[in-house]
């Protein structure tokens, strides 16, 4: 006797071909015979429903639903029986369990559902699970294991993500550190070069001072020589002479000779000293321009440094500038004493 899920209504066979009517009638009779009996006969009834579905569902619009109504099945119940029939026909082991009555109807429907867990189905087919209750318990266990696995996977993913982020931050920090270190090394090399240039300028300045001192000594020596010549000339004037001598002319010539000698010597020394000082001044000005150019190159480097590194570098620069400023002031002793302002101090 069919399920009383819907009001029974006779199926209309008139629209079907004769051979199709034969198939539908035969499966309907078997379905009516086996439905709601033992699990073995339920399995056969499911196969009959599957056969009718295969014949009507895809070729005769609305006839499948009409047939289900005629035998008292809802579309949902019929669909479930089609799934069971397909599984029974597709699995010799399942067909054997159904034929031997070793599986209940609820358990059979559960393992034939599209959402059935393959691992649980395998345990039913192997005989490890024989009741629907055991099946539900296994499903709960598998679900819990999946949830734990998913949670562990999520935690692992989170840990991996944190590791990658930390690695990225470390690589970025290392890159910034290397760039800052390169800038600092560049500044240190530039500072070292400037110190060498400053030391060379000091040596040139000392050499110029020594040369000037020698020139002053030569000038004093020439003055003494002129004085001696003058004294000798005065002594000659006091001595008696045999011939008439133009004393004024002799004195004039002596002075001219002495001054010419002194002028030649001191003039050459002055020219040499002036040329040396002009060369030194040009070199110092060129060095000043190079220092300004290097500073312009340093500014962008300093702007992209971290605050702590920038402060350390600037401290070193300020110390160097302080030493240079102190040495510059030392070169202005007369101006400082007179209260004159040194250019560039404001």
State the pLDDT at residue 241: 47
Give the chain's end-to-end CA distance (angstroms, integer): 114
Cβ 70 vs Cβ 10: under 8 Å: yes
State the pLDDT at residue 214: 74
Q: Is the confidence at residue 198, as pLDDT, over 90?
A: no
- Which residues 6+ apart lie within 8 Å of 272 measured at CB? 211, 215
Q: Is the confidence at residue 320, as pLDDT, over 70?
A: yes
Q: Is the confidence at residue 197, as pLDDT, over 50?
A: yes
- For the stretch 7-24, pLDDT in tens is 577 888 888 888 889 999
State the pLDDT at residue 6: 46
State the pLDDT at residue 47: 93
The average pLDDT across 223-235 equals 77
Cβ-based neighbour number of residue 337 at 10 Å: 8
State the pLDDT at residue 62: 84
Question: Tokens 């009555």 appear where?
Answer: 101
State the pLDDT at residue 195: 84
Question: Tokens 């296994």 appear where?
Answer: 138
Map the chain to HEC letters.
CCCCCCCCCCCCCCCCCHHHHHHHHHHHHHHHHHCCCCHHHHHHHHHHHHHHHHHHCCCCCCHHHHHHHHCCCCHHHHHHHHHHHHHHHHCHHHHHHHHHCCCCHHHHHHHHCCCCCHHHHHHHHHCCCCCHHHHHHHHHHHHHHHHHHHHHHHHHHHHHHHHHHHHHHHHHHHHHHHHHHHHHHHHHHHHHHHHHHHHHHHHHHHHHHHHHHHHHHHHHHHHHHHHHHHHHHHHHHHCCCCCCCCHHHHHHHHHHHHHHHHHHHHHHHHHHHHHHHHHHHHHHHHHHHHHHHHHHHHHHHHHCCCHHHHHHHHHHHHHHHHHHHHHHHHCCHHHHHHCCCCCCCC
How high is the mean pLDDT of the chain?
Answer: 81
Q: Is the confidence at residue 98, as pLDDT, over 60?
A: yes
Q: Is the confidence at residue 127, as pLDDT, over 90?
A: no
d(CA 70, CA 49): 12
Between 192 and 219, the more confident residue is: 192
Cβ-based neighbour number of residue 154 at 10 Å: 10
State the pLDDT at residue 26: 92
Cβ-based neighbour number of residue 161 at 10 Å: 10
pLDDT bracket for residue 3 (50, 70, 90)? very low
d(CA 168, CA 162): 10
- For the stretch 128-180, pLDDT in tens is 888 889 888 988 888 888 888 888 888 888 888 888 888 888 888 888 888 88
State the pLDDT at residue 343: 66
pLDDT bracket for residue 1 (50, 70, 90)? very low
- Which residues 6+ apart lie within 8 Å of 52 measured at CB? 24, 27, 28, 31, 64, 67
Cβ 329 vs Cβ 344: under 8 Å: no
Between 232 and 131, the more confident residue is: 131
Both tokens assigned to 240: 């008696």
- For the stretch 21-44, pLDDT in tens is 999 999 998 888 888 778 888 888
State the pLDDT at residue 124: 86
Both tokens assigned to 12: 């209309």
- For the stretch 238-286, pLDDT in tens is 766 444 445 667 667 766 776 676 666 677 777 877 888 888 888 888 8
State the pLDDT at residue 251: 67
State the pLDDT at residue 346: 53
Q: Is the confidence at residue 5, as pLDDT, over 50?
A: no
Distance of CA 286 to the CA centre of its chain: 42
* Rg of the chain taking only CA atoms, in angstroms: 59
State the pLDDT at residue 342: 57
State the pLDDT at residue 156: 82
State the pLDDT at residue 247: 62
Cβ-based neighbour number of residue 68 at 10 Å: 24
d(CA 216, CA 220): 6
Question: Residue 125: which of 160, 95, 167, 147 has the closest Cα?
Answer: 95
State the pLDDT at residue 250: 62
d(CA 149, CA 134): 22
Task: List the chain domain ranges.
Answer: 18-117, 162-337
State the pLDDT at residue 2: 42
Question: Residue 255: which of 233, 274, 235, 272 has the closest Cα?
Answer: 233
pTM above 0.95, yes or no: no
């Amino acid at each position: 006797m069919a399920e009383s899920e819907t009001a029974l209504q006779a199926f209309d066979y008139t629209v079907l071909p004769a051979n199709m009517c034969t198939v539908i009638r035969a499966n309907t009779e078997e379905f009516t015979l086996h439905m709601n009996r033992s699990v073995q006969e339920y399995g056969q009834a499911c196969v009959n429903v599957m056969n009718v579905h295969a014949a009507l569902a895809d070729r005769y619009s609305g006839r499948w639903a009409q047939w289900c109504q005629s035998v008292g099945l809802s579309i949902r119940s019929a669909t479930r029986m089609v799934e069971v029939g397909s599984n029974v026909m597709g699995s010799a082991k399942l067909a054997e369990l159904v034929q031997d009555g070793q599986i209940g109807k609820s358990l059979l429907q559960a393992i034939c559902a599209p959402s059935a867990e393959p691992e649980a189905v395998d345990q039913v087919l192997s005989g490890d699970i024989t009741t629907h209750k055991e099946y539900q318990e296994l499903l709960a266990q598998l679900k819990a294991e999946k949830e734990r696995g998913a949670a562990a996977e999520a935690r692992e993913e989170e840990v991996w993500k944190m590791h990658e982020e930390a690695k990225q931050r470390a690589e970025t920090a290392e890159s910034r550190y290397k760039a800052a270190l390169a800038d600092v090394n560049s500044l240190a090399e530039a500072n070292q070069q400037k110190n060498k240039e400053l030391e060379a300028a000091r040596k040139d300045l000392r050499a110029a001072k020594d040369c000037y001192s020698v020139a002053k000594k030569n000038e004093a020596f020439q003055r003494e020589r002129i004085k001696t010549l003058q004294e000798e000339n005065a002594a000659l004037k006091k001595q008696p002479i045999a011939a008439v001598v133009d004393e004024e002319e002799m004195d004039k010539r002596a002075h001219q000779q002495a001054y010419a000698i002194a002028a030649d010597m001191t003039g050459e020394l002055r020219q040499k000293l002036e040329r040396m000082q002009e060369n030194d001044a040009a070199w110092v000005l060129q060095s000043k321009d190079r220092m300004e150019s290097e500073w312009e190159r340093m500014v962008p480097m300093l702007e992209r440094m971290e605050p702590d590194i920038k402060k350390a570098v600037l401290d070193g620069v300020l110390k160097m500038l302080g030493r240079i400023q102190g040495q510059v002031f030392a070169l202005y002793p007369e101006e400082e004493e007179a209260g004159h302002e040194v250019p560039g101090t404001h």
